[in-house]
């Protein structure tokens, strides 16, 4: 028998018969803060957005930024003190809760806390809460969480919907979402509306839960190894004495073109109009240690599928080495260009980092 929460409000309708929506967002980091900002900016008259992050200063900074930029929706934004408040501290059961957190263990913890709160405090059978996980995590954990949600609250849903586009895409609202849905018709209109607030592309990747993550990991594996090749190529061009700004422009219209060589070009000053990480000391962007995480996830999940990745171990090795230096690990992945310039191969074939060996 269903219990109806005292906070569950009857859905009201505006004059154009649009159903009002309550959104929740967990995780206001480099990506999440921009994704949540786009939702905030596009809230309808009586919609609400509830946000939470484990770091209070991240919440404070988010609220300050978005309300200064757009005070119109200030009253529609509510900060929550903890995860259980997504059930007990809201004005009406939430339609969607988006999670954007670092690892699988965090996704599992967030979902378990929220689901437990629903169990303890009640929920309305009239509205189905859908949790949209845009984190990049391992497929087995995501499937475990999906199973847990469906077995505990069968009318609720948990969908893997990782993104591509990086911090720049999150900032501009041009992200691509990869969903475990077979066709576009299998993505509900309400979910489509939500995703279109934050991005430009929705890619159904398959009916089985985890296919969105499978597409994400395959894509990010490609990005990771391409990024190493791009860094190596520009170091080669430097060794040849080429003008790197000119070389970058050449690559942009040649067969070596890639996202890592153009959209995230590692050479400062080539595209100043795009505010790339390379122009600010490789700060911001998609940091190297997160790229390493994706390589590890891709290679591990490939092994689960009995697939050997021919560049997997090599890519994993070099990202492991790069992340031994904090100044490389915590800057945008384009910094591998700078890092490879610090490496030297000895006569015996040993590669040493000249900055570390000093």
| Active centre residues (catalytic) | 216
Helical H segments across 243-325, by residue range: 244-252, 288-304, 312-322
Specify the pairing of strand 130-133 against strand 22-26.
Answer: unpaired
- DSSP letter at 276? -
Question: Do 94 and 121 touch, CB atoms closer than 8 A?
Answer: no
Q: Checking phi first, is residue 210 left (phi over 0); if not, alpha (psi -120 to 50) or beta?
A: left
User: How far apart are the C-alpha atoms of 58 and 52, rounded to whole Å?
Assistant: 9
Sign of CA dihedral 75, 81, 84, 88: negative
Q: What crossing angle do the helices spanning 139-152 and 104-121 adopt, rounded to 10°?
A: 0
User: How far apart are the C-alpha atoms of 206 and 61, rounded to whole Å?
Assistant: 37
**Around 228, how many Cα atoms within 13 Å sit in the side-chain half-sphere?**
19
């Amino acid at each position: 028998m269903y219990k109806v929460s005292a906070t569950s409000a009857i859905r009201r309708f505006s004059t154009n018969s649009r159903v009002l929506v309550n959104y929740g967002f967990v995780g206001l980091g480099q990506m999440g803060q921009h994704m949540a900002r786009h939702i905030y900016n596009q809230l309808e008259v009586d919609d609400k957005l509830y946000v939470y992050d484990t770091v209070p200063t991240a919440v404070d900074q988010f609220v300050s930024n978005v309300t200064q930029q757009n005070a119109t929706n200030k009253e529609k934004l509510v900060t929550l003190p903890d995860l259980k408040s997504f059930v007990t501290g809201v004005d009406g059961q939430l339609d969607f809760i988006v999670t954007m957190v670092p690892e699988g263990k965090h996704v599992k913890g967030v979902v378990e806390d929220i689901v437990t709160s629903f169990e303890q405090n009640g929920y309305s059978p009239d509205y189905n809460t859908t949790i949209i996980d845009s984190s990049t995590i391992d497929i087995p954990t995501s499937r475990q969480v999906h199973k847990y949600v469906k077995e505990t609250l069968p009318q609720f849903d948990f969908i893997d919907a990782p993104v591509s586009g990086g911090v720049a895409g999150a900032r501009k609202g041009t992200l691509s979402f990869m969903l475990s849905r077979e066709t576009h018709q299998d993505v509900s209109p309400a979910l489509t509306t939500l995703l279109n607030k934050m991005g430009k592309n929705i890619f159904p990747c398959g009916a089985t839960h985890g296919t969105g993550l499978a597409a994400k990991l395959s894509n990010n594996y490609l990005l990771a190894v391409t990024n190493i090749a791009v860094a190596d190529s520009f170091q080669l061009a430097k060794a040849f004495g080429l003008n790197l700004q000119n070389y970058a422009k050449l690559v942009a219209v040649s067969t070596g073109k890639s996202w890592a060589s153009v959209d995230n070009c590692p050479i400062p000053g080539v595209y100043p109009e795009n505010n790339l990480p390379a122009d600010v000391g490789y700060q911001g962007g998609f940091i190297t240690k997160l790229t390493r995480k994706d390589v590890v996830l891709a290679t591990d999940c490939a092994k689960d599928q009995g697939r050997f990745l021919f560049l997997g171990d090599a890519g994993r090795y070099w990202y492991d080495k790069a992340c031994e230096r904090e100044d490389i690990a915590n800057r945008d992945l384009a910094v591998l260009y700078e890092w490879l310039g610090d490496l030297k191969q000895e006569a015996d074939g040993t590669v040493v980092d000249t900055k570390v060996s000093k």
